[in-house]
Amino acid sequence: MKGKKGVAILGSTGSIGTQALEVIDTNPNDFDLQVITANKNADLLINQAIKFRPNNVVIVDESLYNKVQDALFQYDIHVYTGEESLLDVVCGEDIDIVLTAMVGCAGLKPTLSAIKAKKNIALANKETLVVAGEIITKEARNNGVNIYPVDSEHSAIFQCIVGEFHNKIEKIYLTASGGPFRGFNKDDLSRVTTEQALKHPNWEMGQKITIDSATLMNKGLEVIEAKWLFNLRPEQIEVIVHPQSIIHSIVQFEDGSMKAQLGLPDMKLPIQYALTYPNRIKSNFERFNFIDYPKLTFERPDEKTFNNLKLAFDVLKTGGTSACTLNAANEVAVDAFLKKRISFLDISKINSQTLEKVEIIKNPSLEDYIMIDKESRKVAEELI
Ligand code: NAD
Ligand code: MG
pLDDT at position 2: 58
Give the CA distances from residue 82 to residues 9, 37, 87, 192, 267, in Å, rounded to whole numbers and listed in that order: 16, 11, 10, 37, 29
What pLDDT was estimated at residue 1? 47
C-beta of 248 in contact with ligand 1 (< 6 A): no
Centre a 10 Å sphere on the Cβ of residue 163 and count the other Cβ atoms it contains: 8
Q: In terms of pTM, does the model score above 0.95?
A: yes
Among 103, 147, 338, the mutation site with the greatest number of ligand 1 atoms within 8 A of its Cβ is 103
Closest CA to 226 of 282, 135, 153, 160: 153
pLDDT at 178: 95
| Cα atoms in the 13 Å half-sphere on the side-chain side of 174 | 28
Beta-bridge mates of residue 299: 241
Q: Are 368 and 325 in contact (CB under 8 A)?
A: no
**Ligand 1 pocket member 81 (CB < 6 A):** no
- Domain 5-149 in CATH 3.30.70.260? The answer is no
Q: What is the pLDDT along the chain (384 residues), one digit of tens a residue?
A: 458 999 999 999 999 999 999 999 999 999 999 999 999 999 999 999 999 999 999 999 999 999 999 999 999 999 999 999 999 999 999 999 999 999 999 999 999 999 999 999 999 999 999 999 999 999 999 999 999 999 999 999 999 999 998 999 999 999 999 999 999 999 999 999 999 999 988 888 999 999 999 999 999 999 999 999 999 999 999 999 999 999 999 999 999 999 999 999 999 999 999 999 999 999 999 999 999 999 999 999 999 999 999 999 999 999 999 999 999 999 999 999 999 999 999 999 999 999 999 999 999 999 999 999 999 999 999 999
Atom 19, ligand 1: which residue's CA is nearest? 39
Alpha-carbon distance of 24 to 35, in angstroms, equals: 13
> 130: closest CA among 359, 274, 311, 290?
311
d(CA 119, CA 93) in angstroms, rounded, equals 9
Which listed ligand is nearest to 152 at the C-alpha? 2
Who surrounds ion ligand 2 at CB < 5 A? 151-153
- Bond into 265 cis (ω within 30): no
Delimit the CATH 3.40.50.720 region(s) of the chain: 5-149
